[in-house]
A and B are shown apart, each in its own frame.
Chain A
Amino acid sequence: MAVIGIVEDNVKIRDLIQRYLDMQEEMECPVAVDSVEEMLEFLQDHAKPDVILMDIQLPGMSGIKGMEIIKAKYPEVDIIMLTVYHDSHKIFDSLKAGASGYLLKHTSLPEIKQSIEDLLKGGAPMSPQIARKVITHFNDQAPQKNPDSMLTDREQDIVNGLVDGLSYKMIADRFDISIDTVRAHIRNIYKKLHVNSKAEVIAKSLRGEI
């Protein structure tokens, strides 16, 4: 039974998603709140959800900031960003902050469910826009980063494929691997993205910038 949490300030949307997910046999959604602060409160003395759907624009702390905090405290929690915008900058920022994937709010409920299931299976969605940003991000980091945080050749191949507009299936075909492997690679790429971003955050905080 997957436990899902929702942070979303639009009550109707939140309720619909919560009710829909609760209806699913293999999922339960015990917590649906409208701010990061409430979610953090909940996390302190409850079982941790497997996945949190997180809106970005929230009253109080922003979703991106919230993600950083939650990921820092509970690295095992996967966070899927919910956004009204199909905006690659925001999406990428949230990915760097720790999101494992993103969903547009108007994504249909079955698709939301599917994405959660994919994620729990170890996959992660990555669009060509995001892929291109991933390449740029790692290229910029390249000189000073240790090899561990660099993309592997295979990961690089996968990202390039995504940039070229290939679907996961096409990538899997091209490199003769399974789709799940592709998803796993992508998930790993996200993790590296988080690490880099954390390092960046630490460096910045040392320099007193934040």
Chain B
Amino acid sequence: MRKIIPYLVLALCFSEVLIAQQYPFRTYSIEDGLSESVVHAVIQDREGYLWLGTGFGLNRFDGIEFENYFDDQGLNNTKIQSLYEDSKGRIWIGSQAGVNYWESDSIYYKPELSELDNMVVISIFEDSRGDLWFGTDGNGVWLLAEDDELFQYSTSQGMSNNRVRKILEDDEGTIWFATRGGLTQLKNGNIRTYTTEDGLPENRIRDIVLDEEGVLWIGTREGLSSMQNDTIFTYGEDRGLLNVRIQTLIFDNDNRLWLGTEGGVSLLQEDGTFKNFTIANGLSNNIIYSTTKDQEGNLWFGTFGGGVNLFMGDYFENYTVAEGLMNDVVTSITQDKDDNIWIGTYGGGISKYNWEGFTTHTMNQGLLDDKVFNLFTDSKERIWVGMRNGMARFDGEKLKIFSEEEFPYRKIRQIFEDSRGDFWISTYDDGMVRYDGNRFELINIESGLADNTVLGAVEGKDGSIWIATYGGVSNIKDGEITNYTLQEGLPNTAVMTVLIDDAGVVWASTFGGIAWFDGQRFQSITTEDGLPNRVCYFITQSDDGSYWIGTNNGVVKFDADKYFSEDPSLKDEAFQVITREQGLVSDEMNLGAVFEDNEGHLWFGTVEGVSHFDPAKYKGNPVSPEVKIDQIVASGRSYSFRKEFRLSYDQNFVEINYSGINFTAPNQVVYEYKMEGVDPVWQRTIERSVRYPSLPSGEYVFKIHARNTNGAWSDEITTTTFIVKPPYWMQWWFLLLVLIVVLSIILLFYNYYRVTKLVDIERIRVRIASDLHDDVGASLTEIALQSDFLQASNVDSEFRKSLTQIGMQCRKIVTSLDDIVWSIDARNDTVGDLTDRMQDYIINVLGPRNFQVEYDFEDLKMGNKLAVPLKENLYLIFKEAVNNISKYSNGDEVNIKMSVENGVFEFRIHDNGTSNNGVKKTGHGLRNMEMRAKRIGASVDVNTENGFTITVTGKLN
């Protein structure tokens, strides 16, 4: 769009003598994402976003992308008329139907303003008391006081008109209203109106501004007026104002007043005259509706149908075919003694610019070739022309052609005059030709030159000639040629230009960067050192000492002091790129196509025209961008960066979108980010989002800052913090649980193993005993029964006695086996089982002996379990004791007592027998009892007083 419009315009204005140079206006309209091309209001908020109210929709712009808002997002009406940011950061939106406001990230409606719902709100203002004023189209102005009370000021209250287009407050607290019926002043509660009767050129006022000195500037339908102390002065067409229907007024950073009119943009210059900018100069539309100044100092002009125009300054003036050049491929620029600028083009001959218009020298005017490589003004003010097919020279008006006979070399790339007056003519294929005015001397590879393709020459401080060739740099000093190539430090052998700087240092620009000569060899500066582009078509130095390097992607302003500075942070600022974004006519330069004119301005020849550049006016981009994190998307869900948030372990695909708002050169913003714990060092990118595909769980701090084209970094590093929660199997409680479970399982296995082992042992014990009992017992039983059977037959008494003995013995063994099996059988493990068994035993053994047996088991809990060894040993001790009584006691009473107290048992067997035999004979039995007691950790006590008492004490467990 930006490119097309000038062509169309030119087609219309072709006949005009005066040419209009292009200024760096940048247009944003529907094709860029703006909701509509009629921009009624434009402001920048404190965060840096540009807000644009259009005929259809509200837009928020961050330099790259437009966010559109319509009634779906809460707007009363999509036709936006006015925008204003109040002191609280709320953005007030006046529309065709009342007022909305934006806060944080949503559009709100204020019910207190519902009276305005059917009014067109065309101006909004917050006064120094914090009260809000809403100017309407036909309903006067409404004041929303702090207590949300709404007051109306209209013609009934003395307003000059009910259509209020602008409201402002001066230093004294006076509120001024620009209305369709004059200027109304609200001062100390009094309303006063200024009209044509007071000297205004017109009562229909569109805009008012105050300058630093308190002068009120008034934009009317009939020109610009200034009012100070009730004195009104008007600037109109007589001062060069292109269109007197003024729509907007704004001061730039240099306190220059810019007017948006119905015929373009006009600048009130210091001399009181106007400089006008129209679509011919790059504006997209001549009818200006709105204006604002951004934090970077750029001016914005909202237009009627052309979107919004960003004007970055008048440091660039561009000339193309549209402005009168014969061809856009500009290869060379020079200036004659009358200050005319000569522009050589590749295919269009020479265009001479007298600062008003172009005159042309082509083959039609006698030039040898329209493909001009070089224009050079020599010390005699003659202009040399190097062409693809020969060489010519303008001696004043007279054109001298060097014939092929006189000068057989055709492709002339550069002509240079040394301090002795000798000319050095660089040819593309034939080497260097030295011309002293009479004789041509060829210096080529045979002579020792680095290459026959020669592109230029300069003279060093020592009078030696430095020559750029495609084989490196050659130096001719006192007839000696020294060549410098890759070995001598050049980044590339194809050298396009050489330069001697203020300090006499030799510089070379090559296809692989630039290099400077340290006296011995070249030191290269390449993209690795921060050079933005490797193809360097030229290098030159301007008055202020800056170096200018022409590349495939704009011109690089190189600050050698910063580059060689000790401070590494300054190195970032050493290279500043100037591209189309800043107003350069094209990003692709031509070889050697740079010229510094007698005012210190630079001319850059490109493939799409020539740019005239005033380095003094170019301030670059002094405001560093602040980075805003727009949103964080984790696995498809969006999170607000405003507060710390947590992500689950499987939401760890994180995308962070951010923007560093910069309007001067939005595409040259370089971001540097670092995710603590992920990125070891700062990462650079020009992308406005970064993705982290699978963040492990942990706490993250994302840091980011940005650099503008000047190399100025954000004042603050923007940070956001979030947490990726560990999966539950990584959380402490789970790990603990797992640990416990694992330990439990180990314990369980251990116990199971131990228990099964014990059980196995037990089982084997029982089985051995049972088997023994069953087999041996059965056999013994057979024997016993056999003996019984035999006794039943007629046998003599001796034999019967033996048989009885055999039977008894067998039964005794069987009983013992039975006792063993019983005692180790875990089923018989209660106290009751033990006492039952004991009683059975007593009945069997002592029953026939007429003992009075008393049991004292009162305290025992019969259901309690006894450990098998305890039961077994206690029973066997008991058996031993009862057997002793049976065999040896002469008493008739037996007392058996068992008691348990606090886990300690006492087992006492007493009989009232007094025979000494008992003591003696129990010797073996007692040892046996002691041994058994020991096995269960118990002690045995024998008392022979009052009979015979055996006491066993021990612990239950």
User: How many whole Å from A173's CB to the nearest CB in chain B?
Assistant: 12
Residue of B778, B815, B828 near A87 (CB, 8 A) is B828
A128 sits at the interface (CB 8 A): yes
B563 within 8 A of A: no
Beta-carbon contact of A88 and B788 below 8 Å: no
Asked if A128 and B811 sit within 8 Å, CB to CB, the answer is: no
A84 close to B (CB within 8 Å):
yes
Find chain B residues with CB under 8 A from A12 CB.
782
- Chain B, 803-840, contact with A by CB distance < 8 Å: what is the 0/1 string? 00001001100110010011001011000110011011
Do A167 and B778 touch across chains, with their CB atoms under 8 A apart? no
A108 within 8 A of B: yes
Docked Cα-Cα span, A109 to B815, in Å, equals: 16
Is the CB of A115 closer than 8 A to any CB of chain B?
Answer: no
Determine if B843 and A89 form an interchain contact, defined as CB atoms under 8 angstroms apart. no
Q: Is B151 an interface residue (CB 8 A)?
A: no
Q: Are B818 and A165 in contact (CB under 8 A)?
A: no
B862 (CB) vs chain A CBs: closest residue: A132
- Shortest Cβ gap from A131 to chain B (Å): 8
Report if A127 contacts B (CB, 8 A). yes
Contact B774 A84 (CB under 8 A): yes
| A85-B822 in contact (CB<8A) | yes
For the complex formed, measure the closest distance between the CB of A167 and the CB atoms of chain B, giving whole angstroms: 7
- Of B788, B832, B840, the contact of A86 (CB 8 Å cutoff): B840
Q: Among the interface residues A17, A88, A165, which one has the most CB atoms of the partner chain B within 10 A? A: A165
User: Is B855 located at the chain interface by the 8 A CB criterion?
Assistant: yes
Would you call A167 and B836 a contact (CB within 8 A)?
no
Chain B interface mostly helix, strand, loop or mixed?
A: helix
Asked if residues B786 and A16 are in contact (CB atoms below 8 Å), the reply is yes
Decide: B843 and A167 in contact? CB cutoff 8 A: yes
Task: Please name all residues of chain A whose beta carbon is closer than 8 Å to the beta carbon of B837 when the two chains form the complex.
Answer: 88, 129
Most buried by B among A20, A89, A128, A164: A128
> CB distance A109 to B843 under 8 Å?
no
Contact A108 B840 (CB under 8 A): no
* Contact of A108 with B818 in the complex, beta carbons under 8 Å: no
Inter-subunit contact A84/B773 (CB<8 Å): yes
CB atoms of B825 and A108 under 8 A apart: no
* Interface residue count on the A side (C-beta < 8 Å): 28
With contacts A13-B778, A128-B839 known, is A85 near B821, CB below 8 A?
Answer: yes
Instruction: Check if A165 sits within 8 Å of B842, measured CB to CB.
Output: yes
Interface footprint category on B: 35 or more
A163 to B839: give the CA distance in the assembly, Å: 8
B24 within 8 A of A: no
Using Cβ atoms and an 8 Å threshold, which residues of chain A touch B773? 84-85
CA distance A68 to B847 in the complex (A): 33
Per the bound structure, the CA–CA distance linking A129 and B839 in Å amounts to: 8
Can you list, as one digit per residue, whether each of A36-53 has a CB less than 8 Å from chain B (1) or not (0)? Answer: 000000000000000000
Q: How far is the CA of A87 from the CA of B814 in the complex (A)?
A: 13
A204 within 8 A of B: no
Q: Does A154 make an interface contact (CB < 8 A)?
A: no
| Residues of B with C-beta under 8 A to A13 | 778, 781-782, 785
* Cβ-defined contact, B789 with A19, below 8 A: yes
Q: Is B669 an interface residue (CB 8 A)?
A: no
Q: Say whether B810 contacts A106, CB under 8 Å.
A: yes
Q: Is B660 an interface residue (CB 8 A)?
A: no
Contact between chains at B836 and A109 (CB < 8 Å): no
B778-A109 in contact (CB<8A): no
- Which residues 763-807 of B sit at the A interface, judged by CB distance below 8 A? 773-774, 777-778, 780-782, 784-786, 788-789, 792, 807
A6-22 contacts to B, CB under 8 A, are: 10, 12-13, 16-17, 19-20
Known A86-B818, A128-B836, A128-B839: A109·B847 in contact at CB below 8 Å: no
* B window 830-883: CB within 8 A of A: 832-833, 836-837, 839-840, 842-843, 847, 853, 855, 862
B828 in contact with A10 (CB, 8 Å): no
* A105 contacts chain B at the CB level, 8 A cutoff: yes
What separation, in Å, do the CA atoms of A109 and B832 have in the docked complex? 31
For the complex formed, measure the closest distance between the CB of A70 and the CB atoms of chain B, giving whole angstroms. 24
* Closest partner residue, chain A, to B833 (CB atom): A88
Whether B828 contacts A108 by the Cβ 8 Å rule is no
A23 CB-CB contact with B under 8 Å: yes
* A89 lies within 8 A of B780 (CB): no
Q: Which residues of B contact A (CB under 8 A)?
A: 773-774, 777-778, 780-782, 784-786, 788-789, 792, 807, 810-811, 814-815, 818, 821-822, 825, 827-828, 832-833, 836-837, 839-840, 842-843, 847, 853, 855, 862
Nearest 3 pairs between A and B by C-beta? A129-B836, A109-B788, A128-B839
